[in-house]
Chains A and B, each alone.
Chain A
Amino acid sequence: MSTAIEYFQFVLAPQMLIGLVLGVAVILVALGLTIIFGLLDVINMSHGEFYALGAFIALALGSIGLPFWLLVILVPLLMLPVGYIVERGLIQRVFHSSERHVTTLLLTFGLGLVMEDAFRLVFGPNPLKPETPIAGAIDVFGVFLPLYRLFLIVGGAVIVALVALVVYRTRLGAMVRAAAFDRDMAASLGVPVQHVYAGAFAFGVALAGLAGVLLAPIYSVFPTMGRDFILMAFTVVIVGGMGSIAGVVVAGLLLTQVQAISSLYISPVWSDPIVFGIMVIMLMVRPQGLFGRLGHG
């Protein structure tokens, strides 16, 4: 019995805690992705680059002396107009074609390529690491946990709760869900659908930027940083159900735990194939994911 407790305390629990931090990080990135898909029906292939953009803006503003806590608020606000312009200027141009899924996917894929290379041009290819805003660490049930990671877990939970609150409990959220469910009906009832669409894209992009700010002190900042997360974020969105906030949270926690725990027993290099394998199987047997789409039941 005591060996089981020790095994839990010294082997399983630390690994699960590492998985939890990663899980929160992935959820933050996937949240914007799932909102954009749920409402606009657009697969945003450049989402990882918007995540990187947030991190780079934070890095640039941080280097001129702005404090981290201001950046947490400022960067998402700066990302809003960027997302709005991208939606109105680029995505709307191909949004009404008959093959919307394919054309918007291709367009955002191209945008991602351009952004990634632009980062390399401006900031150079090497990883940059901002200072950790909260120093120190604490003991959680005998497990060493840096304070900033604890903050991330709590902060991530707060952000998810706030987003869910806005989407499900406010008038704005009701308009968004109405537009997602039936665009024409919502428009005829006076919902400014054009602005709701652009606004939702901007909101999703701003969430990616916020994730960039929050995760930069842990995972460093480099031009291809979006790629590492976006695969996992896509997997989470698919398994959870595209457009579902609850799905993102459940799938995000589940998959990162699978990854963390499986890497105890088999070589960690196989954890990625396992996670992608889960995604492929999920797409085969239940392509709509664990939960339904935003605004659909």
Chain B
Amino acid sequence: MVDALTRSMRASHILVAILVVASLIFAVIGVANGDTFYLRLGTEALIFAGLALSVDILLGYTGLLSLGQALYFGLGAYVSALVLMVTPSFWAATGAALGVAMVVGAVGGFIANRVRGVYFALITFGMAQVAAKVVYNTRALGASDGLIGVPIIQINFGFAAISSASPAGFFLFTLAFIVILYAFAAYLLDTPFGRLLIALKANERRVPFLGYDTVTPRLLAYMIAAVIAALSGALYPMLRGFVSPELLFFSTSGNAVITVVTGGVGTLVGALYGGILLTLLKSVVGSYTEHHLVVIGVLFMGAVIFLPRGLMGIVRPAIERMLARRMKS
């Protein structure tokens, strides 16, 4: 049986497929022109889209606004950078980021999930702020300079290897990586566990009466979001060769929230489109004026007032209707 949630997920899958095709065309054009800059920019857009994806899992499906998702993004980036400086292995770096994010996510989730609503937003904000200040002041982590000199690595698959220095290769790798994260999140949210999260968002008091535990699903959702943010962050030092405490700052968390809201809350794919849109906007507006925040801020406010469901709130329902018609006929 296909219900509304599964159908909307399928609509999201179609939109992701369109995004992948567009990205492949972009990569081919980039390689043909011998471009480096735009391919690297695109890679960065995808990495931050991964962070936005983690915000959407919390905001769109569990109904919790995290203002501190940069904590896990930065955590992944720092762990990955530290591991890469010891041993230049992609698998070791992402594995370490995954493990640390699960532990820190469990602790953070335990703290943050004690409160709801606006207090949740503020507690996540506070935790990220504490972490940012600690990193900023720790000499061993490079303090305000961050960690510089992360080596170029070969991502080894056994049968083939991709260099993180190759613009097109690493772009395609990042694309695949983020699509896998998306697929994982989309699959999970379509399972009974995901439906439980949506039920929690709709009415948390009623869920226990239906015989479900509310504490564990909440904690798991928080941990999954933490892991996705950390894994996205783990790619950052591979792309840029450094990490800086700015990755942990509120502006990073805030940007992720802007991305999700303009892209479309609760669609998952909105985070990916939003990330690309925002990066595109920044580089286009940024080429005219350095005050691109005015433009982005106004657009964001416009989206909050006039488009509360975001960009995908317009596009996805149309695809859903198309899918519904197909299934009937």
Q: Measuring CB to CB, which residues of chain A are less than 8 angstroms from any residue of chain B? A: 43, 90, 93-94, 97, 99, 101-103, 105-107, 109-114, 116-118, 120-121, 231, 234-235, 238, 267, 269-270, 272-273, 276-277, 279-280, 283-284, 287
Which chain B residues in 270-307 approach chain A with CB under 8 Å?
291-294, 296-298, 300-301, 304-305
Q: Is the CB of A101 within 8 A of B118?
A: yes
Cα separation A282 to B300 with both chains bound (whole Å): 32
Interface membership of B315, Cβ < 8 A: no
Query: Given the interface contacts A105-B65, A106-B257, A280-B123, does A114 sit within 8 Å of B130 by beta carbon?
Result: no
Say yes or no for B126: interface residue by CB 8 A criterion.
yes
Please measure, in the bound complex, the distance between the C-alpha atom of A270 and the C-alpha atom of B136, giving whole angstroms: 10
What does DSSP make chain B's interface, helix, strand, loop or mixed? helix
B126 partner residues in chain A, CB cutoff 8 A: 235, 276, 279-280, 283
Cβ of B118: which chain A residues have Cβ within 8 Å of it? 43, 101-102, 105
In whole angstroms, how far apart are the Cα atoms of A283 and B125 in the complex?
A: 12
Task: Flag if A280 contacts B261 (CB, 8 Å).
Answer: no
Interface: B134 (CB within 8 A): yes
Chain B 122-139, CB within 8 Å of chain A: the 1/0 string? Answer: 110111011001101100
Chain B proximity of A104: nearest CB distance (Å): 9
Q: Is B21 located at the chain interface by the 8 A CB criterion?
A: no
Return the contact of A114 from the options B121, B136, B254, B297 (Cβ within 8 A). B297
Q: Are B291 and A117 in contact (CB under 8 A)?
A: yes
Within the complex, the shortest CB–CB distance from B95 to chain A, in Å, comes to 29
Most buried by A among B122, B125, B137, B298: B122
Complex contact A105–B121 (CB within 8 A):
yes
Q: Cβ of B114: which chain A residues have Cβ within 8 Å of it?
A: 283-284, 287
Give B63-74 as 1s and 0s: 1 = Cβ < 8 Å from A's Cβ atoms.
101000000000
Tell whether, in the assembled complex, residue B297 and residue A117 are in contact, meaning their CB atoms are under 8 Å apart: yes
Residues of B with C-beta under 8 A to A110: 258, 297-298, 300-301, 304
**Cβ A113 vs Cβ B297 within 8 A:** yes
Give Cα A269–Cα B137 distance, bound, in whole angstroms.
7
